[in-house]
Amino acid sequence: MTTVAQILPNISVAPIANARVVVLAYDGLCTFEFGIAAEIFGLPRPEMGPNWYRFATAAIEPGPLRAQGGLRVEGDGGLDLIAEAGLVIVPGWRGIDAPVPAELIAALRAAHAQGARLASICSGAFVLAATGLLDGHRATTHWRYASALAERFPQIAVTPDVLFLDEGQIFTSAGSAAGMDLGLHIIRRDFGAEAANLVARRLVMPASRDGGQAQFLLRPVPRDREADRLTPILAQLRNALTETPAAKVLAARAGMSERTFLRRFAEATGTTPARYHAQARLDRAADLLETTAADLEQVAEAAGFASAAHLRRHFHARFGLAPSDWRKRFASPPA
């Protein structure tokens, strides 16, 4: 019989510089986004050893604070907790038109100056934008709010078609559930792929969706009568990686005109067949780098690239890392 220890082995993660994670609470709190931060960073995880995150909730204003769903929230402390944080998470915001208190802006700026990392989920990007710390950086938010963020903060390179962005000391993520992808990404950065994989298993979700993946699940899905025709096409593009079939060929297989096929494909995925196929190749390469000891030529061949040089060029353009650096950062240690 499988035991809990076999499912969640002890890995005793190495310490990081500051394991204190502080999530903000405010009147009108976005309950789901707050729950994501608490689930990923706040749950006891004895299988990780004594160096896991230390979690606290900072109330940015006097309570009791109302949360969506009729709940009341009481923080562990106030804005003073932000000064102790190695990572501060803004779990949404009470409205994109709601002003950000000057005291909160000052606290976030001070924490950032002391080396703390700042992260936002969904509309929380508007709070980080208000600090000015996103100026000159890329940022994302829920696709519904992206145009408003770009219009109000033109100094920010708003990138709406991604799940999350890692700008080193500042992270932003798209709508709601993308915060889970960002949380796992931060764990991977802090403690490695094995730790992120274990947390993902607890969450019953994929261990890694690349941050650059389009916000596929936030787009309209195919009409029911067309879903069955698109599903095998998507599977083909994910699994047959050597060559991208022409759009007219894929359209014929789906029983649609090329124009209708491209429109329905974009509705389902947020991108084109060629870009979807290119991302599938990179996803396969990243997976092989993390989970195997195959050399770069073998990885390139298995992921459908013409050569290792071709893989290096596309991999660096997409992820900002060489394949060798990706393997060093994210590969699970040998058993």
Q: What is the pLDDT of residue 102?
A: 97
Residue at 195 is within a domain: yes
Domain-terminating residue out of 203, 233, 266: 203
CA dist 277 and 23 (Å) reads 37
CA dist 315 and 146 (Å) reads 26
Residues in the chain: 335
211 vs 321: which has the higher pLDDT: 321
Q: What is the pLDDT of residues 88-108, one digit of tens each?
A: 999 999 999 999 999 999 999
Indicate whether 298 pLDDT > 60: yes
- DSSP for 179-247 reads HHHHHHHHHHHHH-HHHHHHHHHHHTS-S---TTS--GGGSPPPPHHHHHHHHHHHHHHHH--S-PPPH
Q: What is the pLDDT of residue 10?
A: 72
Banded pLDDT at 66 (limits 50, 70, 90): very high
Residue at 211 is within a domain: no
| Residue among 246, 180, 240 nearest 37 (CA) | 180
Banded pLDDT at 53 (limits 50, 70, 90): very high
Q: For residue 18, how many other CB atoms are within 10 A of its CB?
A: 16
Residue at 212 is within a domain: no
Banded pLDDT at 183 (limits 50, 70, 90): very high
Domain extent for 122:
4-203
76 vs 224: which has the higher pLDDT: 76
Q: Is the pTM of this model over 0.75?
A: no
Same domain, residue pair 195 and 224: no
CATH number at residue 252: 1.10.10.60
The three-state secondary structure class of 154 is coil
Same domain, residue pair 261 and 183: no
266 vs 136: which has the higher pLDDT: 136
Banded pLDDT at 77 (limits 50, 70, 90): very high
CA dist 242 and 244 (Å) reads 7
The three-state secondary structure class of 20 is strand
Q: For residue 99, how many other CB atoms are within 10 A of its CB?
A: 10
pLDDT above 70 covers what percent of the chain?
A: 88
Domain-terminating residue out of 203, 228, 253: 203
236 vs 79: which has the higher pLDDT: 79
User: What does R_g of the chain's alpha carbons equal in angstroms?
Assistant: 21
